[in-house]
Amino acid sequence: MDLMQPLPPAWGEKLRLALEFAATLAFALSGVIEAARKRLDAVGVCVVAFATAFGGGTLRDLLLDQRPFFWARHVEYLWGLLALCALAILFMRQRHLAPTERAILWPDALGLGLFTAVGVDLALALGQPMLVAVLMGVITSTFGGVIRDILCNEIPRALSDHRPYALCAFAGAWLHVLLQTLGLPPWLVLTVTVAATAGLRLLSVRRDWQVPGWRH
């Protein structure tokens, strides 16, 4: 039996879609917080949130030749994102919450883990080689944050803060491949991938692990 076959369509696809929806909302929330830190208006907040949530998955679909894009196939993602932006803006204004860089860490780490699992899983289901699937997981989970930081006039944190970010996604993606190769249930593979990737990112920040930078 080929262990790299697509997930059972009865519930494996639904599980993947649920995780992708959760990842979209998590990354959108990080975009809202970052846009609020930069004091953008409501339109700017929505633009940054949409770019953060959909950037990585859109690039993944382009590379895997998936049409229409995932957010066009599931229009409920768009409605959910619009609702999240409106509610987040109202809540933050009424509570007078001060958006901080640290506040972005939790939704960003959660989105990183979720999108890593979804990206790898989708690529494997399409019959892509393991290395390609791993790279799809990294692209899906990191590119949205890169676009977010660029729109907010920042050097992308994934490339500049010297803390493991893409490396966490890379490690989590390989873990996903390993667990699926071992024939574990799809729900367990996806859950462990999300927990391990997000946990590794949070631990790296807490322990202040550093990726070596370029020396002049």
What is the tally of structural domains in the chain? Answer: 1
User: Considering the domain boundaries, does residue 7 fall inside one?
Assistant: no
User: Considering the domain boundaries, does residue 212 fall inside one?
Assistant: no
The per-residue pLDDT for 4 is: 45
User: Considering the domain boundaries, does residue 3 fall inside one?
Assistant: no
> What pLDDT digit, counting tens, does each position of 124-175 carry?
989 999 999 999 999 999 999 899 989 988 888 777 767 788 899 999 999 9
Instruction: Tally Cβ neighbours within 10 Å of residue 156.
Output: 17
Q: Which amino acid is at 183?
A: G
> What pLDDT digit, counting tens, does each position of 28-66 carry?
888 888 888 888 888 998 999 999 999 999 999 999 999
- Confidence label for 216 from pLDDT (cuts 50, 70 and 90): low
The per-residue pLDDT for 215 is: 66
Instruction: Give the residue from 166, 162, 196, 201 showing the smallest Cα distance to 179.
Output: 196
C-alpha distances in Å from residue 77, one per residue of 50, 70, 88, 156: 10, 9, 16, 25
* Cβ pair 149, 156 in contact under 8 A: yes
User: Considering the domain boundaries, does residue 196 fall inside one?
Assistant: yes
The per-residue pLDDT for 101 is: 61
Structural domain for 188, as ranges:
12-206
Report the chain's terminal Cα–Cα distance, integer Å.
53
User: Considering the domain boundaries, does residue 2 fall inside one?
Assistant: no
The average pLDDT across 165-194 equals 91
pLDDT at 5 over 60: no
User: Considering the domain boundaries, does residue 108 fall inside one?
Assistant: yes
The per-residue pLDDT for 1 is: 38
The per-residue pLDDT for 6 is: 46
The DSSP-derived string for 130-187 is HHHHHHHHHHHHHHHHHHHHHHTT---HHHHS-S-SHHHHHHHHHHHHHHHHTT--HH
Q: What is the mean pLDDT of the chain?
A: 84
The per-residue pLDDT for 169 is: 93
Strand stretches in 3-87, DSSP E: none
DSSP letter (8 states) at residue 67: S
User: Considering the domain boundaries, does residue 172 fall inside one?
Assistant: yes
* Cβ pair 45, 99 in contact under 8 A: no
Percent of the chain with pLDDT over 70: 88
The DSSP-derived string for 139-153 is HHHHHHHHHHHHHTT
Angle at 195 between CA 192 and CA 196, to 5 degrees: 80
The model's pTM is 0.83
User: Considering the domain boundaries, does residue 4 fall inside one?
Assistant: no
> What pLDDT digit, counting tens, does each position of 80-137 carry?
899 988 888 888 777 655 556 666 788 888 889 999 999 999 999 899 999 999 999 9
